[in-house]
């Protein structure tokens, strides 16, 4: 990923980066109101010439001072907005950051579609960003249209049954769990959740309490095959 980051930061891609920002801004304004005016856009971006260049490049059209996407422009705007908002979700939900806005802006340019889908899957195809704005659906989300619950959940939210695949672990018991073979990537079944959690992994059965179960994040195994 670091190679890609360096590539994107090169001078010739400065234009592309501006375009991304502009498209994202238009998308955002369009979400709130119906019309996007050049004046409004210019107020945000402060580079009228560059905006006009985008018209020439066939990303947007300009009619009576109103800005609209072309097909290509809409597709790119949608992608970049999706990445930005997914990045925000990742930073807030998983990394527990509070000051994330700047990094989210940089991150959105740096990730490939594959990484984007992986993040989306990890987060359970979230419908909105931390600010409450909708995250445009990606290809990966369409596969799980029917699923309402997030894909990756802590064991406390998982139903009895399985098999589940462990995605990541948190908390002071990681070493203990690892010592019996329960690590990220292990397949486990949940036999019961009360009065204590009983899990089986291969031929081993363990009992843990809710506090430990909270730190075990899993996804349903079937989705792996469903891909």
Partner 1 sequence: MSTKGKKREEAKGLKRVALIGNPNVGKSVIFGLLTGKYTTVSNYPGTTVEVSYGNINLDGTRFVLVDTPGVNNLLPMSEDERVTRDILLAERPALVVQVGDAKNLKRTLVITIQLAEMGLPVVLDLNMEDEARDRGINIDKEALKRLLGVDIVGTVAPEKKGIKELKNAILEDSKVPGLKIDYGTVIEEYAEKTTALLPKAKISRRSLALMILAGDESLAGWLKSRLEGDKLESIESFREECALKIGRPIGLHINEIRLKKASEITESVVKKTGEKEHRVIQFISKISMHPVWGLPLLLLVLYGIYEFVGVFGAGTLVGLVEETLFGEYLNPMFTKVVDLLLPLPLLRDLIVGEYGLVTMALTYAIGIILPITTTFFIAFAILEDSGYLPRLAIMSNRVFNIMGLSGKAVLPMVLGLGCGTMAVMTTRILEGKRDRLIAIFLLALAIPCSAQLGVILGMLSSLSALAMAIWATCVMVVLLFSGWLAARILPGERGEFFLEIPPLRKPTLANIAVKTAGRVTWYLKEAVPLFILGTFVLFVLDKLALLKVIHKIASPVIVGLLALPEKATEAFIIGFLRRDYGAAGLFAMFEDGLLTPTQALVSLVTITLFIPCLASFFMIIKERGMKMALFMLAIITPVAIAFGSVLNWALRGLNIAI
Which residues form the interface with partner 1 (CB under 8 A)? Answer: 172-181, 183-184, 191-192, 194-196, 198, 202-209, 211-212
The alpha carbon of residue 129 and the mean position of all alpha carbons in its chain are separated, in whole angstroms, by 9
Of residues 78, 182, 192, the one with CA closest to residue 135: 78
Give least dist CB 198 to partner 1, A: 6
Q: Which is nearer to partner 1, 51 or 208 (CB)?
A: 208
Give least dist CB 109 to partner 1, A: 24
Whether the Cβ atoms of residue 23 and residue 80 lie closer than 8 Å to each other: yes
Q: Which is nearer to partner 1, 59 or 208 (CB)?
A: 208
Q: Which is nearer to partner 1, 71 or 172 (CB)?
A: 172
Give least dist CB 104 to partner 1, A: 22
Q: Which is nearer to partner 1, 119 or 166 (CB)?
A: 166
Give least dist CB 63 to partner 1, A: 52
Give least dist CB 150 to partner 1, A: 24
Q: Which is nearer to partner 1, 140 or 188 (CB)?
A: 188
| Three-state DSSP string of the chain | CHHHHHHHHCHHHHHHHHHHHHHHHHHHHHHHCCCEEHHHHHHHHCCHHHHHHHHHCCCEEEECCEEEECHHHHHHHHHHHHHHHHHHHHHHHHCCCCCCHHHHHHHHHHCCHHHHHHHHHHCCCCCECCCCCECCCCHHHHCCCCCCCCCEEECCCCCCEEEEEEEEECCCCHHHHHHCCCCCCCEEEEEECCCCEEEEECCEEEEECHHHHHCEEEEECHHHHHC
Q: Which is nearer to partner 1, 61 or 179 (CB)?
A: 179
Give least dist CB 145 to partner 1, A: 34
């Amino acid at each position: 990923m670091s190679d890609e980051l360096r590539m994107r930061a090169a001078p010739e891609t400065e234009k592309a980066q501006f375009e991304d920002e502009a498209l994202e801004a238009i998308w955002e304004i369009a979400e709130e109101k119906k019309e996007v005016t050049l004046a409004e856009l210019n107020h945000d971006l402060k580079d009228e010439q560059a905006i006009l260049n985008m018209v020439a490049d066939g990303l947007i059209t300009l009619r009576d001072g109103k800005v609209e996407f072309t097909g290509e422009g809409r597709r790119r705007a949608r992608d970049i907005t999706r990445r930005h908002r997914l990045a925000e979700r990742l930073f807030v939900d998983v990394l527990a950051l509070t000051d994330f806005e700047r990094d989210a802006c940089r991150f959105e340019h740096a990730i490939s579609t594959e990484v984007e889908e992986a993040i989306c899957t990890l987060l359970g195809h979230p419908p909105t960003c931390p600010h409450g704005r909708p995250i445009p659906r990606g290809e990966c989300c369409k596969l799980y249209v029917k699923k309402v619950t997030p894909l990756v959940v802590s064991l406390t939210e998982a139903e009895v049954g399985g098999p589940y695949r462990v995605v990541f672990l948190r908390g002071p018991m990681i070493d203990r769990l690892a010592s019996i073979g329960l690590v990220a990537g292990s397949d486990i079944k949940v036999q019961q959740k009360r009065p204590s959690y009983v899990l089986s992994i291969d031929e081993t059965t363990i009992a843990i309490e809710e506090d430990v179960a909270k730190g075990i994040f899993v996804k349903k195994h079937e989705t792996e095959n469903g891909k």
